[in-house]
Amino acid sequence: MPDAKKTLTPSKVFLFGTIIKNPILVQVIGLCPAVAASSSLTVALLLSFVTTILLIVCEVLASALLKPLPSWFRVAVYMITGLLFICPLMYILDEAGFSVVSDAGVYLPLMAANSVVALRCEKFAVKRSVFLSFYDAVATGIGVSSVLMLSGTIRELLGFGTVAGKAVFESAPVPALTMPFGGFVVLGFLAAFLKKFISTFLSGYSYDMPFRIKRTRRRRPGRTSEQPVLIEPTSSGEPLPLGESTVLSSPAIEPDAASDPSLSGGAVRFQIHEAPKESGKESFADVFYNSMSEDLFAREEAFDDIAAEVKTEKHGGGQFTVGTETSPSANSDIVKPARDEAERVVIPVDLDLLEEEEINRALKKDSEGGKDG
């Protein structure tokens, strides 16, 4: 949301911290204690308490005092603050004879370097007032704590057959849930339920979630190489000249085109341009063609235009995009409409097919040229 910062109210901060941007289930951060340590309710309670207190202390500190400092220094301050809190707490609990400290193991001291604390401080607290930071810390703490305790209760109940040490079942129904593998399974189902809850009861906030579920075609793994290709909506509705376009059907595009009733019966045209290189990551086409010797392809001029940015148009005009995000018919409930024409949609396109098409055409052209010559 572009104006989210301006219209941020305490109630919205609370809703975002607890549900919409839940650190564990939605943002998927701070998984280590949630998966590995919180296999029982008592440990989950201890970790929740520590996380909430750390969040409140660090966010208020960051918002009140640490704004002038550089970010790399602030992160160190968060860790030192966490250690200053956790070390005495561990000592006191250990002296008092609570076994929960040994149950939590190494994960309790590791909470000093909690990614949730550092992220919330850097993303939120250093840019906002102390009041809002405190609210955010409490909300995020409640969000983390609820997930930890829910996960801990489920895992203890099914993994050990107890709740907070009290026996509920005679034997453990599913002992494997006490392992980290069980933590992942439980968190996965909780995340799915939360997603469903948000899309059902808080559908107005689904755009504010850090990620959106894209409905893509289910593909068999390993069959083709999926390479993201930028696809732009065309500015004009006129069809491309035949000489500049190529008709191509791709496994990644065809189903979406088929799902759109406005495209039925028409082929899809793609115009192939040079690929914009992503920083630090070469596309498959780059790797593939750079690995070839220059002499080998010196005569193959057509190979220079291989695979990349594709503009789509439908026969007979009518603008549309082949992406998954901007097609309202495919994802009516979760996908927002395109804001402007310059918005780009990244979808997977089978580069093998693109290359194969290009190679075949180049070889055919070359053989025809040879015959003519």
Partner 1 sequence: MAVKTVIKTDKQKRPFCCDMLIMLILPAVMAWYYYGGSVLRTVFVCMLTGVLSETAGAFFMRCPRDLGDCSSLFTGAAMALMLPADFPVWAAAAGVVFAVAAVKLPLGGTGFSPFNPVAAGFSFLCLCWPDKIFNYPAIDTGSGYVKGASLAGMLSVNTSIRPNTINVFDIFTGNVPGPAGASCIIVLLGCAVFLGFSRRRSLINSAGFTAACALFALMFPRVYSYNARPVSLLMELCSGLLMFSALFLVTDPAVSPEKPFHRFLYGAFSGAACMLLRYFGKFEEGVCFALLLSNAMWPPLYERILRRESKRELRKRVKRRSKNRALSAERRAPDNA
Q: Binding residues for partner 1, per CB under 8 A?
A: 173-176, 179, 181, 185, 188-189, 192, 217-225, 249-251, 254-255, 284, 288, 291-292, 296-297, 300, 352-353, 355, 359, 363, 366-367, 370
**Complex with partner 1: residue 63 or 227, whichever CB lies closer:** 227
Residues 139 and 120: their CA atoms lie apart, in Å, by 11
Q: Specify the 3-state DSSP secondary structure of 313.
A: strand
Least CB distance from residue 301 to partner 1, whole Å?
14
Among 111, 189, 106, 193, CA closest to 155: 189
**Complex with partner 1: residue 193 or 207, whichever CB lies closer:** 193
Least CB distance from residue 176 to partner 1, whole Å?
4
Least CB distance from residue 242 to partner 1, whole Å?
21
Residues 24 and 145: their CA atoms lie apart, in Å, by 10
| Other CB atoms within 10 Å distance of the CB of residue 273 | 14
Least CB distance from residue 292 to partner 1, whole Å?
7
**Complex with partner 1: residue 98 or 297, whichever CB lies closer:** 297
Residues 27 and 146: their CA atoms lie apart, in Å, by 15
The helix or strand, by DSSP H or E, that contains position 350, with its residue range, turns out to be strand 345-350
**Complex with partner 1: residue 205 or 284, whichever CB lies closer:** 284
Least CB distance from residue 41 to partner 1, whole Å?
21
**Complex with partner 1: residue 11 or 225, whichever CB lies closer:** 225
Q: What DSSP string runs through 223-266?
A: SS-EEEEEEE--SS-SPPPGGG-EE---TTTHHHHHHSGGGTT-
**Complex with partner 1: residue 115 or 367, whichever CB lies closer:** 367
Least CB distance from residue 83 to partner 1, whole Å?
35
Among 181, 143, 147, 176, CA closest to 36: 181
Q: Cα dist. 123→43, 63, 75, 128, 281 in Å?
A: 28, 11, 12, 9, 27
With contact defined as beta carbons under 8 Å apart, do 252 and 287 qualify?
Answer: no
